[in-house]
Structures are given as structure tokens and as C-alpha cells.
Structure 1
Amino acid sequence: MYPSSVLGEFLRSRRARRRPEDVGLGAGVRRRRVAGLRREELASLAGVSVGYYTRLEQGLSPNVSEEVLDSVARVLGLDDVEAAHLRRLARASRARGEARPERLRPGVRLMVDAFTEAPAIAVGRRGDILAWNRPAHALLAPHWPFEGGEKPNFIRLDFLELEFSRSLYVDWEQKARDDIAYLAGALSRFPGDEGLTGLIEELRALSPEFRAMWAEHPVSDCASITREYRHPEVGPMWLTAEFLRTPDDEGQGVTVFQAEVGSPSHERLRRLARLVAAGAAG
């Protein structure tokens, strides 16, 4: 099952970055064959057998205890977000069944429409934009139609429309890693979503950048992120994207983009809203 392989890849990536001296081991044997900790070193420090840890990396220990996962996270030096991701991946390996189809609730659409100056979108677990207001359309994908037809998947947009996305995000590499963290978090929660795993495989096949970054397994809760945008009409803006999960926890959420009140970015965001309103009225 796909999440089982991701669990192993995630553990190996974190093992590779953990140096022996980080966990109190001496320089040790020279000419180490692998970067970072060996399996047997990690297993010993976590208090489990090498065989047991190997099965964990292979996704063959779906009933692994919280104590073992906590020990592994401690030895690997995982932060709270990474440790929570590890636990979800370990549990996902025993999940069965397909995820339910995504359906946007009318109330969520109304919430998005209620924002008039701040860009707002409803986003699905796969990164599909399910609803957006006009400021969000003008900010994130003005070359797509606002009404009618399919709305973009923001992760496909960032990796497969590189000329546009690299011009919009000043730090495109960080935005791309945040996209991958979003997908990885969704996969740990919805391992039975074939559309999600299909999207990941599609992007691994079509985008060398995605393929390389996916192998790094970046992790983030994606709850609140501030980044600089480069808009062709109103200029550069520092905006904070707040991701608010919907109560039913179907993996959907509403993202609202805001700027610090009184800042140049705030004025430019208001100017963008005025331009959008004038265009809609015309």
C-alpha cells in the first residue's frame, strides 16, 4: 500500500540527516556506507530489535505502539509536527477502504464569498480549489476563468505552470516544499484516496522538481504561512495565508490571505480588491 512505502521513505530520510554525534555516538567506524544513522544504531537507541525496526520501515508493523513511535521520534530528533506525521503514517499502513468523494458544503462556499477584500479559497485535500472569490482569482490564477469550467489544482499549478508560479512567488522553492508537505499530510490522513495517490504519481512523472523535493519529505502543518507575492498589477506583497480546517475533517479547509493592517502590503491588497470590483462591475 502506498502509505507504507512513504513511511519507509520518511524514516530513511530522517535517519540520513541524523549524525551519530547527534545521539551521543562517537565518530565510530570510518567509511560508513550510509549517511546518518544505521538501522541497527537507531533500533538500539530506541530500545527495539533491528528486525522490528526494519519491519516498521517496511510498513509491516501496523500495530506498532505509541511508545515505540515516541522512542523512534526522539532518536531521530523529530519536532512535534514531524512526530505527529510519523504516527499518522504508521497508522495509515493499516487503513482500508477508499476515501469518500469530496463535496463542498454550501456553507463553506458562502464563507468564501463573504470575504470581499481578502482573497479566500476553499481547498480540498488534493489541493483542488473548490471555490474562490474574485480577489483570490486575481491573486492566484488570473489566467484561469473565474466562472464556469474546472478550477485549478494549486499544486499542479505551482509545478506544471512554472513560468507563472515562479513569477508569482518570490521564494518559489519554499512554496513548492509547502505544497508537498500539504500532500504528504493529506496522504497520511486519507491513505485510501486513489485520486490523491494518482496526483502524486502524476507529478513525480511530470516534474523533476516535484520528484526531487518529494524525496526530501518536507513536513509542515500548513496552518499559517507568510510569504512574499509578486503581483503584476499592484506590486510585491507580504501575505499570511491562514488555513482553517472544516469541522467534518474531510481534509478540506478555507484559506484566507491577509496583510498586516497599515502596511504597504495591506494597501496593495486593498488596491487589488478595488481593481477586481471595478472589473466585475464593468
Structure 2
Amino acid sequence: MYKKIFAVLLVIAIIISSAACGKKKGSNDKPAQSGGGKQAVEQVDKETEAADGESHATEPNETEAGEDKAQKDNGSPGGINYKSGEELLSFYTAFDDAISKFEQPISEYATEDFSLIDVGMDPLAPLTPILNMGMYDSLEVFGTKEGEYKEKSGSVIKYGKEFTREEDGFDPKNKKGDVVKEEGKLDTSTNTLTFESTVKRSGELIERVVEEVVMLPDGTFIAQVFSKYIPRDERNKDKGNAYFVRCGKDELVIIKAEFEPDVNFTYNSIVGKGDISPEDMSQGYTKVRKTSVRDGVANVEKY
């Protein structure tokens, strides 16, 4: 889906660029020139329709083979099959695919316990902070108006942005003058991602999110996410939230936890630690619940 969206946006950007660079039509211009342009457009349309037809014709087979292919790629010695120029998107897609196959049992989990009403959000917790990382692969399309950048050196790709809000946002907590910054680093040789985003107001750090994701040689994903946001109102408890994730081929385990409301929180990195269980990662935190999926069945345990 992401690749199709990026392809469409790239075509639009190219068309706009070409139109901007075209000369103004003069009185001596021949009608044949206009007709030639029309024929070229029609030819492109025909080729696009043909390619689209081939895509639709092969889509069912691709869908059927998608899960097996993803597992094969993730389990290969080299890990994810990175596409040149789309490394960030490749990593996110592999992580999203791994977790997505467990989402339905969790979304269908039925309970009368009001404290578990948001359990369906657990598998989204490690995906949301890095949702837009694939956009950094196409800055020529999405632009750099917020200071976006992407730098590659060997197997390491650094990306991020930093900007100051020029006006209040739709979210009441987003204020004019806030300095928003995010930094990410992906090492394709170790399939390791680290990410951090912050918000400063009047020079003071007020919000912070940290995430680490590691894909092991067998395709298992290990991840942890820490966040400290400003409470939306007095009814919300001021606290830090943490999610500890292990997503394997046959089982997904997520432990949700809380910690003291300190935006300058510290944490133990999981990078280079191998296969760590959510139970081990969550030591020292106030555990709230454990969500797991195995054999198509979701189970939720409260602590």
C-alpha cells in the first residue's frame, strides 16, 4: 500500500515539475505540437492501464504468497530484503507485517472489564511512533518544510526533523512556539532501529518518546516503547507509559506498564541483548497487563 501511494505521489510531483518548467505557448506554435503532447499522454495512460491490469491480475497470487514471502525474507541470514532508497519503509513494513497478523484476535477480544477497553491499542503502540519513517525515503515528494533529512553512511541511515510550530495545533496541547524534534537511526546490518522524539516549550522538555526495535536472525522482533506526554486534562493521570514487545512467528506478547511521570526518564537498551522476554524487559516498572496471542486466540492478564 505504501509503495503504491508513494508511486502516485511521485508521478504527481513529476507532472507538476514538468508543467512548471514548460514554456508559454506562443502564437506561432503549431497545433501539431499540442496534439503530440496529447498523444504522449494517451500513450502513458495506455501503458499505465496495462501495467495496472497486470498488477491486478497478479494481486491474488501475491496476497496468497505474501505471508510466506515475508517470513522467508525476515528469516534469511541477511534479515530484511532492503530495497535501495527505501530502507526505512522496508524495515517498517516488515515490522508492521509481523505484528498485523496478530491484530484481529486482539481486536475481537471480548471483555466486560472496563479497564481493558483499550486493549485493542496494544499492538499499535510500537507502530505509531515510527509510522511516518517511510516518508523519509521520499523527501523529494513530501518536502523538507519541517527540516526533514535523511543521511546514509554504509549500513547506517539517520533521519529526522526539527521545527518550531508557527501556530497552535488542532490538538489543544500543541502550542505556537513549541520546538518539535525527532531522530531515528536504522542499522541495516543488524536490523536495529532506535528512535526518539521530543517537544520543548520555552526551552523546557515537556514531552518525550523513545523506541527501540530489533529483528533477530530468526525473524523475531523485540521492541520497547517509552512515552511521557502532557496530560490532556486534570482527569488524566500524569504518568509515563511503557510497552515491551516480543513478536515471533507463532506468538505475540505485549506487556503494558507505567512509570513515574519524569520526562527525563532513563531506560535499559535492548540493542545487542539478543532474545529478551517482555517479562525481563519490564522489570522495575509497574506492570498493568499482559496481552498475548497464540494459535489465533488472544489472552489478556491483569497484574
Scaled by the length of structure 2, what TM-score is found? 0.27
Higher helix share: 1
TM-score by length of 1: 0.29
As a proportion of its length, which structure holds more strand?
2
Structure number with higher relative contact order (C-alpha < 8 Å, ≥ 6 residues apart): 1
